[in-house]
Structure 1
Amino acid sequence: MLTLTSIWTTVLLAAAVALGPLATDMYLPALPQIGSDFGTGTDQVQLTLSLYMAGFAIAQLICGPLADRFGRKPIMIGGMVLFALASVGCAFATNIETLIACRFLQALGGSAGPVLGRAAIRDIYTPREAAKILAILASMMALAPAVAPTIGGFLVAGMGWSSIFIVLALYALLMAGVVAFGIPEPMKAEYRQPLRLCNLVGNYRQIGTDVSFLGYTLTNALIFSGLFAFLSGSSFVLIDFLGVEPQHFGLYFAGIVIGYISGNLTAVRLSRNLVPDQILVRGLLIAVAGGVSMAGLAMAEVYSPWAVIIPQAVFMAGTGMVLPQTMAGALANFPRMAGSASALFGFVQMAVAAMAGALVGHLHDGTSLVMSVIIAGCACASLASYLLFVKRNPAPGFEPQGASA
């Protein structure tokens, strides 16, 4: 069993938390084929993503308080087992309705990893240390979406889209074993919360009325929605509209992951001299530049995979700087209820992202325009949220005395 502050604990937490990104990114190259096999339109296929995110959001409100009562490990292990069973159901689905239902169940189990991974980092580290560790963890996690679409593309080409869900089920069971036998319980016994309805409502009220929490959470949710808008529309834009082969989709997707990792590593390097809010605002400006550039190219009818990938890589570099800071900032005030705070944070993040993904599917016009405009809008809205809320209410230790971010 590893020590809590070991780098290998962070590595194993990243591998466990990566289950969430894998569940979306690995099957992106399969979306057009799923629509073709089931004879459904883009909007119906998009529901397998949007309702997954909705289930992900709802489940976090449940697993967060459960983890504050029983600890992080048992809830994470149970969630991964449920994820594995639902993945098998997805693999054997015979119609789009069954696939959507199993994806929803998959989300209920898969939500335990990210929400409890964030909480575990807050259990172990101080808020400012947590921002740095979350950036490192995010860089490790980015390896999953870097390789997942490529693996998914080859699985689709070689064995069909159902094989993707079998691989996901096996990975979930492996990670359940890793968490059970490799990672100590990070939650202090004295921080355990009673599992009573009045206590849960009181905790959520306290968290949800904290202006600092709301500012960081909304800023995060909006920038994450731009990322999810790309996940929702990229396979249809790149494969159907721009003619990229499914097995090559992952190679293009790797470009945006490189951007994300670059942002994470830049945030770690900047943390030596800057406080998290200063890193945050710089990341937001970079994300806005990438999103607006992509929308401008689409409006000018510059249709090329690189007119999508390069601006999105810039957007993702900014996002890689923003996400760790907003996660740590949102949880900074709640060391005794980090599970519940992480759950509410994740609920808002996923709910807003699900709406953005549904909007992409509903308005998709067969080109890159709709996706690009929504990404740009999310980036601009996230910057506005920072200026209106976060800048005025920074988390403790996130802004230097006598200076603004």
Structure 2
Amino acid sequence: MLALTSIWTTILLAAAVALGPLAVDMYLPALPQIGADFHAGTDQVQLTLSVYLAGFAIAQLICGPLADRFGRKPIMIGGFLLFTVASIGCAMANNIETLQLFRFLQALGGSAGPVLGRAIIRDIYTPREAAKILALLASIMALAPAVAPTLGGLMVGGLSWHWIFIAMGGYALVMAAVTAFGIPEPLKPEYRQPLRLCHLFANYRRISTDASFIGYTLTNAAIYGGLFAFLSGASFVLIDVLGVQPEHFGFYFAAIVVGYIAGNLGSIRLARYLGPDQILFYGLITALAGGAIMALLAYQQVYSPWAVMIPQAIFMAGTGLVLPQCMAGALANFPTMAGSASALFGFTQMTAAAIAGAIVGALHNGTPMVMATVIAACAGLAMIGYLLLVQRHPAKAFETGKASA
């Protein structure tokens, strides 16, 4: 077993949390081919993503309290095993409805990694330290969306989209073994919460009425909605509209990953000189600039892959600054119920992502305009959330770093 504060533990947690984005990013190049094979429209194919996000959101509300009661490890291992079984079901699907069903089951299992990864970081570190570790974890984790679309595109071109889901299932099975034998249980026995319905509701009521939690969570949800607006529309815009080959999709996608990693690493460096909420503000300005530039180019009918990818890389640099601060800030006031707080945070995040993705899928008009508009709007909403809520109700424990792990 590794020490909880070891860099290798952080790397393993990053690999576990990466299952969430892997399940989204790896099959993006396959969306047009899935639609063609099943004779399904863009809205039906996009629903495989929205269904996944909806299931991911709902499942977090369940696995968070379970992990607060029984510990992080057994819930993570169970989630990985369910994800493996559901991935096999996706690979064997013979119509779009079956694929949607197994994507939902995939999400139920896949939610355990991200929600409990955040909770484990909060178990181990103080809130201010957690912001730095989450930024480091996100930088490591960003390798998944950098590599996943390229691998997915190569599988679509050389094999078939079914092999994408087989690869996902194999990865989840490996992570179940790694979690079982490599990571110690981080939840202290005295922090375990009783699994009674009235107690769960009381915990969620306390968390959901905390002003700082609301501010950080809604700001995060809005910026995450912008990210998933891009993920929902990118394959259709780049491949169908702008003529990018599926096997080349991952190389274009890598541009936004570079922006995201730059934001994460910038967050770590800026933490030496700036407070977390200052970093958050600069990140929001950057994201808003990226979204506005993309929308302006789309409305000017500048239709080029780089008119999409460069502004999105700017947006993702801002996102890399924003997300670690929001995650750590939202969990700062809840050291004894980090699983439940992380679950509610993740539920709100993924609900916003599902709504933004569904809007892009429903309104897609054969141009980048709808996707760009939704991304810019989400960045604007995130800035409003910061100005109206976070600025007025910062998490005191987060800012001072005095709360104990």
Give the TM-score range, shorter chain: over 0.9
Match of 1:359 in 2: 359
For 1:239-258, what aligned pairs fall within 5 Å after superposition? 239-258=239-258
Q: Does residue 1:282 correspond to 2:289, yes or no?
A: no
Counterpart amino acid of residue 314 in structure 2: V
Counterparts of 1:118 and 1:326 in 2: how far apart (Å)? 12
Whether 1:315 and 2:319 are equivalent positions in the alignment is: no
Tell me the residue number matched to 1:403: none
Amino acid at match of 1:257: V
CA distance in 2, matches of 1:396, 1:177: 38
Using the TM superposition, give the Cα deviation of residue 398 of structure 1 relative to its aligned residue in structure 2, in angstroms.
Answer: 4.4
For 2:280 and 2:352, how far apart are their aligned partners in 1? 20
Alignment partner, residue 86 of structure 1: 86
In structure 2, what is the equivalent of residue 118 of structure 1?
A: 118
Secondary structure of 1:335 counterpart: coil
Structure 2 counterpart SS, 1:336: coil
Counterpart-to-counterpart distance in 2, 1:45 and 1:295: 24
Match of 1:46 in 2: 46
Q: TM-score, normalised by structure 2?
A: 0.98
Question: Unpaired runs of 5+ in structure 1?
Answer: 401-405
| Residues 1:26 and 2:26 aligned together | yes
**Deviation by residue 1:79-111 (Cα, 9 ceiling, x = unmatched):** 000000000000000000000000000000000
Counterpart CA distance in 1 for 2:80 and 2:342 is 18
- In the alignment, what sits opposite 1:268? 268
CA displacement at 1:275 relative to structure 2 = 1.3
Quote the offset at 1:336 in angstroms: 0.3
Quote the Cα distance in structure 1 between the aligned partners of 2:109 and 2:154: 26
Identical aligned residues as a percent: 74
Match of 2:219 in 1: 219
> Mapping of 1:311-390 within 5 angstroms?
311-390=311-390
1:277 and 1:124 map into 2 onto residues whose CA distance is 22
Which residue of the partner structure matches residue 129 of structure 1?
A: 129
Counterpart CA distance in 2 for 1:305 and 1:152 is 19
Code of the aligned partner of 2:163: S
Letter in 2 for 1:61: L
Secondary structure in structure 2 of the residue aligned to 1:215: helix
Using the TM superposition, give the Cα deviation of residue 274 of structure 1 relative to its aligned residue in structure 2, in angstroms: 1.0
Amino acid at match of 1:328: A
Q: Cα 1:64–1:397, aligned 2, differ >3 Å: closer, same or farther? A: closer
Q: Within 5 A, what are the aligned runs for 1:43-192?
A: 43-192=43-192
TM-score scaled by length of structure 1: 0.98
Contact 1:232 1:357 in 2 (8 A): yes
Contact 1:81/1:109 (8 A) holds in 2: yes
TM-superposed deviation, 1:273: 1.1
Whole-Å separation in 2 of the counterparts to 1:223 and 1:128: 21
Q: Which residue identity is paired with 2:280? A: L
Q: Hey, what's the Cα distance between the residues in 2 that align with 1:184 and 1:158?
A: 40
Distance 1:395 1:327 in 2: 11
Could you list the per-position Cα deviations for residues 145-191 of structure 1 after superposition, in whole angstroms to 9, with x for gaps in the alignment? 00000000000111100000000000000000000000001111100
Are the aligned partners of 2:211 and 2:389 in contact in 1 as well (CA < 8 Å)?
Answer: yes
Give the equivalent residue in structure 2 for 1:299: 299
Offset, 1:2: 0.3
Distance 1:24 1:16 in 2: 14
- Superposed CA deviations along residues 190-241 of structure 1, whole A, max 9, x for unmatched, are 0000000000000000000001001000000000000000000000000000
Work out the CA distance in 2 between the residues paired with 1:225 and 1:183: 32
How many equivalent residue pairs? 401
8 Å CA contact retained: 2:333, 2:397: no
What is the distance in 2 between the residues matched to 1:395 and 1:161?
Answer: 45
Contact 1:226 1:375 in 2 (8 A): yes
Give the superposition deviation at 1:252. 0.1
1:399 Cα deviation after fit: 4.6
Instruction: Give, in angstroms, the shift of residue 270 of structure 1.
Output: 0.3
8 Å CA contact 1:275–1:398 kept in 2: the answer is no
Q: CA deviation at 1:352?
A: 1.0
AA aligned to 2:133 is: I
Whole-angstrom distance in 2 between the partners of 1:304 and 1:102: 35
SS in 2 for 1:375: helix
Contact 1:278–1:399 under 8 Å retained in 2 = no
Q: Distance in 2 between matches of 1:72 and 1:148?
A: 26
> What is the deviation of 1:397?
4.6
AA aligned opposite 1:341: A
Aligned partner letter, 1:249: F
Gaps of 5+ in 2: 401-405
Q: CA deviation at 1:396?
A: 1.7
Whole-angstrom CA distance in 1 between matches of 2:278 and 2:131: 12
**Structure 2: how far apart are the matches of 1:78 and 1:21?**
19
Letter in 2 for 1:79: G
Q: Following the alignment from structure 1 to structure 2, what is the Cα–Cα distance between the partners of residues 77 and 272?
A: 36
SS in 2 for 1:330: helix
CA contact (8 A) 2:128 2:399 kept: no
Q: Given residue 82 of structure 2, which amino acid in structure 1 is its aligned partner?
A: L
One-letter code aligned to 2:119: A
SS of the residue 1:195 aligns to: coil
Structure 1 runs, 4 residues or longer, greater than 6 Å off: none
The 1-side partners of 2:272 and 2:398 are apart by 13
Conserved? CA contact 1:277–1:398, under 8 Å? no
Distance 1:324 1:214 in 2: 16
SS in 2 for 1:65: helix
